[in-house]
Amino acid sequence: MAVLGAGAWGTALAKVLADKQHPTVIWSHRREVADTINEGHVNTRYLPTAELPATLRATHDVEEALHGAELVVVVIPSHGLRAVMSDARRHVPERALLCSASKGIENDSLMLMSDVLLDVLGHQVQPRLTYLSGPSFAKEVAQRMPTTVVVAGTSERETEVVQHAFATDKFRTYASQDVTGVEIGGALKNVIAIAAGVSDGLGYGHNTRAGLITRGLAEIGRVAAHKGANPLTLAGLAGMGDLVLTCTGELSRNRTVGIELGKGRTLGDILATLGHVAEGVKTTKSAFDLSHKLGVDMPITTEVYRILYEDKSPQQAVVDLMSRALSRE
């Protein structure tokens, strides 16, 4: 097994595989991260609370990581996925299954992560490509707290193989064929989580957060429908499940960004001290552009975009959201 990406989420998924006695190699673009994993069996930079099994080793060499891999798990931040996989593609074993656990929409191209992988690796890999998503904080997965996720793929047989590769008594996997719906839910929930954090940072209560989650899900559903996804997917783990977790959980980096924005801090200052990637910041721009491309109304996403990229005050964003023309649900 090979895991590309040694951030918190990549490390947690590598631990799930290695705990099942699968010989697993995790690739890190930072040599020092790979060294600390090999020397101390811990990722001190991104997941310091988790002791990693001896069946997991790390490398800075992508060719070494991919050599002989039967399953390649891609956990690269959305903005780096194309570059990393362009370098790695010649080393991906011909028959290896691929599982993307990256969440986001590529800026400029507005491609989902599966679309980026197909664009880089070629459409011949589509039957072997799956996508994993759902309500799953890396820290809790690494601590073996019961977690449920969904694995989506166009090929039922390959999807079931990946589903069983990850499944444990603490990490339950469901199968789906709706790759588009699973990906859209996993990407856009990060934008709504920033909005929920802004609400919390402004001192608003449960009413406000519940409204944001519900109307945020409506926005996500509209995009999913335009992209041909099954709307029912958004009622499941990759939709409502991940959305609720990210909008309410203390471990949510995107919610944290929103909280600090609501308190009046600048985005640059927040990101400089965060220490981890908050996918929602970049995805907000992609989602805003995608809403215009598709002609989909996304008022919450629009206000988050204006807060992040046009320095709009969070207080004014709330006023503008609440004073929009009344409509039917």
* pTM, 2 dp: 0.96
Return the pLDDT at 309: 97
On the question of pLDDT at 141 being above 90, the answer is yes
Please indicate whether the domains covering 2-177 and 188-322 agree at the CATH topology level: no
- Quick one: pLDDT band at residue 75, thresholds 50, 70, 90? very high
On the question of pLDDT at 190 being above 80, the answer is yes
End-to-end CA distance of the chain: 46
Rounded Cα–Cα distance for residues 267 and 137 (Å): 23
On the question of pLDDT at 276 being above 80, the answer is no
Query: What average pLDDT does range 58-77 have in this prediction?
Result: 97
Active site (annotated) includes residue 312: no
Query: What average pLDDT does range 66-80 have in this prediction?
Result: 97
Return the pLDDT at 277: 74
Total residue length of the chain = 329
Token output for 84: 């990393």
On the question of pLDDT at 225 being above 90, the answer is yes
Return the pLDDT at 274: 85
Q: What is the DSSP letter of 264?
A: T
- Quick one: pLDDT band at residue 278, thresholds 50, 70, 90? confident
Q: Which amino acid is at 35?
A: D
Q: Which of 103, 189, 282, 285 is catalytic?
A: 189
Rounded Cα–Cα distance for residues 185 and 133 (Å): 9
Query: What average pLDDT does range 1-17 have in this prediction?
Result: 98
Token output for 32: 């020092």
Rounded Cα–Cα distance for residues 35 and 32 (Å): 5
Map out the domains of the chain as residue ranges. Answer: 2-177, 188-322
Q: What CATH superfamily classification does 2-177 receive?
A: NAD(P)-binding Rossmann-like Domain (3.40.50.720)
Rounded Cα–Cα distance for residues 35 and 326 (Å): 57
Token output for 71: 């399953």
- What CATH architecture applies to the domain 188-322? Orthogonal Bundle (1.10)
Rounded Cα–Cα distance for residues 296 and 317 (Å): 19
Phi and psi torsions of 123, nearest 5°: -70, -10
pLDDT digits (tens, 9 = 90+) for 243-270: 999 999 999 999 999 999 999 999 999 9
Quick one: what percent of the chain has pLDDT higher than 70? 100
Q: Please name the residue that has the structure tokens 């590769």.
A: 165
Token output for 210: 């519940």
Give the torsion sign (CA, 35, 39, 43, 45): negative
